[in-house]
Amino acid sequence: MKQLTKAEEEVMHFLWDLEEATVAHIIEQMEEPKPAYNTISTIIRILENKGFVSHRKQGKGYTYFPTLKKEEYSNQSINKLMDSYFNGSFENMVSFFVKKNNMSLKEFEQILKELDDKKTLP
């Protein structure tokens, strides 16, 4: 899967949250200073070319919607991160985050509980 730039990912987050939107609606959701309409329109077209977004005609304009779920992109991004920086080892990645982010024992126990719960699912 193709990777997103920071700007593309930001627009995708708005689309994932809104589920569908016009360029103007996406811009309304953004903080000041708001980007130019043409900037967001160009990013949307790039996202369409990459296969992340599609559209449907609505009046004189278009409504855009994501073609990939946020969870799918997140999973693929994490796997790429793990492969690129942690030799594909989940253990190395978790160890890194525990050490570098001063994870509390409670947070760590919660992660272990979620992993254990996942093991018991059919």
**pLDDT per residue over 20-51, tens digit each?**
999 999 999 999 999 999 999 999 999 999 99
35 cis-preceded (ω within 30 degrees of 0): no
Between 121 and 34, the higher pLDDT residue: 34
59 shares a domain with 74: no
Percent helix, strand and coil across the chain, each to the nearest 5: 60, 10, 25
d(CA 95, CA 116): 17
End residue of a domain, out of 47, 66, 85: 66
- Residue 98, domain member (yes or no): yes
End residue of a domain, out of 24, 39, 66: 66
58 shares a domain with 95: no
Mean pLDDT across the chain: 90
97 shares a domain with 112: yes
The pLDDT value recorded for residue 17 is 97
- Domain boundaries, position 103: 70-119
50 shares a domain with 62: yes
The pLDDT value recorded for residue 89 is 86
78 shares a domain with 60: no
